[in-house]
Structure 1
């Protein structure tokens, strides 16, 4: 029996009915897709591999390097934002990758990120071989109908980064420099607000929180870099390129789409630790929300 015929019979076997149980969850069209991944069991993982507390720059740099890998592999992504052991990746509202199937988008982002994380581990931890528990991540996809919703999500993550980092910085200062154990430090911080924590850091340990590395305080923003838009930044959310209309954009022609793909592939992936809550970041980089590639810097 010819090989081709054999394959045909297998593809139409009596067992093929099981495909009817498959269900695809297609995400809403004309909406922004955020795939957020989180480290699974990272408390044990970081303890086993002796991450520095409260922040390990090597580990954060590794997360950023893995995120760059994901952005390079998936040109449909317009932005990534990471803090600690989590990263959020944003697909443009016009994205049609995998026909917007939730499971395909989520698993592709998570598996690609994990692959790069493991592959690059020795670059950032050359003296610490990986051993069980091994790094793994879970993920979910959420859709946001407007730019305002999307920006509020990114803002929420950055505010959360600041709140958690201030707490952790103070908590570990009480342990590492103040001689407390975990329970004592937790009790000392109970009911405190930001100003209280800043006062504890400065008055007891001479630590000015404002001088802490920006990556620790603001997290990491990953995006394709083109020539920035310069000029006065007087516009507000309601009147800048950082907002959008309600209509669906016309699909690009094949030629235009290929040109966009090539430009995206040539663009440098930037990692910055800056404010993404105010308008300035978005107004200077209109290509992020427009979904259209900008002008490549001359050095490219």
Structure 2
């Protein structure tokens, strides 16, 4: 680039490198989605079309950005986890966040007609904001994922009960809110069952657990040699040549990306998928 007298303005840029050797979570949230849901008549308490669209956009982001190891979504939010060894954009916060947010937003709009064919988009268009948080240990990162899934359950149970009171119990929003004030989970479950013969446990897993997106490799049996290492040791960086790193990247790019509705709080999810912590591609499952 040619030098000029105006180049001094670069000195005003703020360095925003994220802490090295930490897990980076970029979390995006819908901007003004309450109005968007009302505008397009999203079903309450959950709209499978809207959730499907969120998941499809998340899969597209992970396809484009192979550095993301796992993501978790519920409602109008998604969390994308970059491995602690990630060096994408030299770990610049502004670059990572803006890339994830813009890529997700672009695919969300692009895929809209697939899930809402009879509702063409019109301004104001859907948009998302984002932030990045660094977590120093595997346990911290897992606790973050557990927090989001626990939040999903708590919110969904409340919303399911709230909207059942309105839709089937013919209450208005104020009365429904008042009747749920101070109730515990067991109270909401009992209310649903006793008044509406509804067993919350039979609700779709996507509503209760949210969506987990990851690359699909052959599962590992817990307790085998592949998962014998301590979880933090498993995530430690390994010395790789540039060629080895490129080969791993290509293998990740070839892996099928899946959306599942699984329990990420318990150890089993992580134990059977050691590649999530190690960032080492596993074996591609045999096609049946």
Report the TM-score range of the alignment, normalised by the length of the smaller protein.
Answer: over 0.9
Q: Within 2, Cα distance between the matches of 1:190 and 1:184?
A: 10
Give the match's secondary structure for 2:233: coil
Deviation at 1:19, TM superposition (A): 1.2
Q: Within 2, Cα distance between the matches of 1:48 and 1:260?
A: 44
Residue 170 of structure 1: which of 147, 161, 165 is its match?
161
Q: Within 2, Cα distance between the matches of 1:176 and 1:217?
A: 20
Q: Is 2:89 aligned against 1:101?
A: no
Matches within 5 A, 1:145-294: 145-230=136-221, 241=229, 243-245=231-233, 249-294=237-282
Contact (CA 8 Å) 1:147, 1:242: kept in 2 or not?
Answer: no
Higher CA-based Rg: 1
Q: Within 1, Cα distance between the matches of 2:235 and 2:117?
A: 50
Residue 35 of structure 1: which of 26, 30, 34 is its match?
26
Deviation at 1:295, TM superposition (A): 0.8
Deviation at 1:242, TM superposition (A): 6.7
Structure 1 residues 246, 80: CA separation in 2 closer, same or farther (over 3 Å shift)? closer
Return the TM-score normalized by structure 2: 0.96
Q: Within 1, Cα distance between the matches of 2:230 and 2:52?
A: 28
Q: Within 2, Cα distance between the matches of 1:241 and 1:38?
A: 35
Alpha-carbon deviations, 1:58-79, whole Å to 9, x = none? 0001000000000000000000
Alpha-carbon deviations, 1:90-119, whole Å to 9, x = none? 000000000000000000001000011000
State the Cα RMSD in Å: 1.7
Give the match's secondary structure for 1:245: helix
How many residue pairs match? The answer is 286
Q: Within 1, Cα distance between the matches of 2:192 and 2:286?
A: 45
Contact (CA 8 Å) 1:78, 1:223: kept in 2 or not?
Answer: yes
Return the TM-score normalized by structure 1: 0.92
Give the match's secondary structure for 2:69: strand
Bigger mean CA offset, 152-161 vs 125-134? 125-134
Bigger mean CA offset, 136-145 vs 290-299? 290-299
Deviation at 1:17, TM superposition (A): 1.5
Runs of at least 4 residues off by over 4 Å: 239-242
Structure 2 match to 1:115: 106
Q: Within 2, Cα distance between the matches of 1:242 and 1:171?
A: 43
Structure 1 residues 242, 42: CA separation in 2 closer, same or farther (over 3 Å shift)? farther
Q: Within 1, Cα distance between the matches of 2:50 and 2:171?
A: 26
Structure 2 match to 1:71: 62
